[in-house]
Amino acid sequence: MITPTLLNNRYKVVRVLGSGGFGETFLAEDTQMPSGRFCVIKQLKPVANNPQVYQLVQERFQREAAILEELGDRKDQIPRLYAYFLENGLFYLVQEYIEGQTLTQKVQQQGVLSEGEVREIIINILPILSFVHSQHMVHRDIKPDNIILRLSDGKPILIDFGAVKETMGTLMTPSGNSTRSIVIGTPGFMPMEQSVGRPLFSSDIYSLGLTAIYLLTGKIPQELATDPATGELRWRHYAMNVSANLAGVLDKAVQQSPRDRYHSTGEMLNALQIPATPPPPPAVTTPPIAPSPPPPSPPPTPSSQNGLGSWQQAVIIGSVIGVFLVGGLWMMQNRNHIIGSDPTDPSPSPTPTASSSPSESVLQTIPTPRKTVFVPISPQPSPTPSPKVTFSQAPTESSVISRSAATKVVRQWLTTKKELFSPPYRKTLGEQLLIGKAYKDNISKTPDPEGCIASGVPEDDCLSSVDWLRKYNAYYTYGVQSLDRVIRFIPRNKQAEIEVVVTEELTFYKNGQRRQTSLNTNNYRYSLRYTNGQIKISDYKKI
């Protein structure tokens, strides 16, 4: 299919975002808006080539578009519908472009998410899903690819509703009745009742539960085993640190039978907001002292009126021994607490550990071992107060760049290039990862490009990579992106160098025309710098 360059005499296609059996999705620029804002255009094609069916599809399409408009206007976590139109027998939806990353991209970039992050995402999605259900609509395609974390505020945005797609699958039976022949949903993320064309509200809950499990484990449903006796998914061993509360909520959400799941989003939300009971703190006890075996009881003797009975003497002797033991333990603890610490600070004294250089030293808390020490007590003159010994506060973040952290930054850079060097050229993503020469080469060579040109420097020499691509209406798309292995890693306190082998497949477009496609494996050297609590790339080059 040839991609048109201008749709509805208004929307300039910038690039293809995706394609499938229903048509294609484009990123486009609205040429009739002063801002030239970006928007997402979904092109939909009916499966039946029949005039009678086409008329029916058109009516249903208009009805579904009206619902999407209401959803987007009333909830800011659903993309707004700007317009819809028909052109050359195809149906088009023009929707708000959400700048951000999908949950799939986030996991690919940074790895699995923490329980707190996942819980927050679910709690923010459930009210939106509740609103959708209140409009008698089932989303039908909830999955990590269809939830975008909006860059401006971090909120999860629910995209790509399945109702309009289902309309495209309308067919006419031999008896003249219409039927919808296409099942909407993604294998693995949709439950059994939806796969046979009978979606329920709890079907969305099932899909959301599997999405949360993916965020916690990095495993898609097809990679998870099931219990042969119960049919339940076995996923907990991939996320051992998840609380019993969240694990139980997700287990119930992904039950095979709808009657065993939560019956509403509100019910699931209430279950999530029940505070998890923290495990009791470990008891701090002194090592038990094994008691001596009791002596054999002597035969009872009459007690003297003037003396103490044997049992009374034993009680007194035992009490005296107990006083000495308690006093000794108290002296030992008090002595360990006072020596080398601030008596007003109840926390253990931090002890610096040796490292390769003073700047790399990290303070660690090492408890003083306790042992019984007998200290003679003798009268002494009051000592001259000695200067108080203090320790510098341990840094909240390590400034030493580790091999794993360096590798992670390089992987993030590979992912970022997909959106930095393609419209809408998201410089904000590059600013989060680049500094120094790498920042200048890719984001902004000079704060005053016009002044640079006026000084006699060739214009292209004043432009960064992103600015050059914008000027010449060019961009790159990426296929395979693989960090194959690390060749060498050299840490230098707050800086490091890492040499890696990278395989990349990229295609260069200019003025909408594909100019070159290549698949290469190259060695790169990345220079990294730790600054403001973050590791950034200061330079890189092919070697």
Q: 274: Cβ–Cβ under 8 A, 6 or more apart, which residues?
A: 245
Give the pLDDT of residue 395: 37
User: Is-contact 56 170, C-beta < 8 A?
Assistant: yes
| Three-state secondary structure string covering 125-156 | HHHHHHHHHHCCCCCCCCCHHHEEEECCCCCE
Per-residue pLDDT of the chain (543 residues; tens, 9 = 90+): 445 578 999 999 988 888 776 788 999 999 999 888 999 999 888 876 777 777 888 888 888 888 899 999 999 999 999 999 999 888 999 999 999 999 999 998 889 999 999 999 999 999 999 999 998 889 999 999 999 999 889 999 999 887 777 777 666 555 555 555 567 788 899 999 998 888 999 999 999 999 999 999 999 999 999 988 888 899 999 999 999 999 999 999 999 999 999 999 999 999 998 765 544 454 444 444 445 555 554 444 444 444 455 555 555 566 656 555 555 555 555 444 433 334 334 434 333 333 333 333 332 333 434 443 444 444 444 444 444 433 333 333 456 899 988 999 999 899 889 889 988 888 888 888 999 999 999 998 887 777 787 777 888 888 899 989 988 888 898 877 888 889 999 998 889 999 999 988 888 988 777 788 888 889 999 999 998 888 999 999 999
How would DSSP label each residue in 461-479? GG--HHHHHHHTTEEEEEE
Query: Which residues belong to the active site?
Result: 141
Measured CA to CA in angstroms, residue 498 lies from 301, 401, 409, 526 at distances of 87, 11, 11, 5
Residue 215 and residue 111: Cα distance in Å, rounded?
8
Determine the straight-line distance between the first and last CA of the chain, rounded to whole angstroms.
40
Q: Which residues make beta-bridge pairs with 172?
A: 178
How far apart, in whole angstroms, are the C-alpha atoms of residue 542 and residue 429? Answer: 22
Q: Collapse the DSSP code of 251 into the 3-class scheme (helix H, G, I; strand E, B; otherwise coil) and give the result.
A: helix
The pair of three-digit structure tokens given for residue 185, joined into one six-digit string? 């949903």
Residue with tokens 């091999």: 403
Query: Which residues on neighbouring strands pair with residue 233, listed in sequence order?
Result: 226
- Name residue 413's amino acid: W
Q: How many angstroms separate the CA atoms of 414 and 109, rounded?
A: 9
Dihedral, 400, 406, 408, 410 alpha carbons, nearest 10: 150
* The pLDDT of residue 3: 56
Q: Which residues pair with 266 in a beta bridge?
A: none
Please, what sign has the CA dihedral across residues 481, 483, 484, 487? Answer: positive
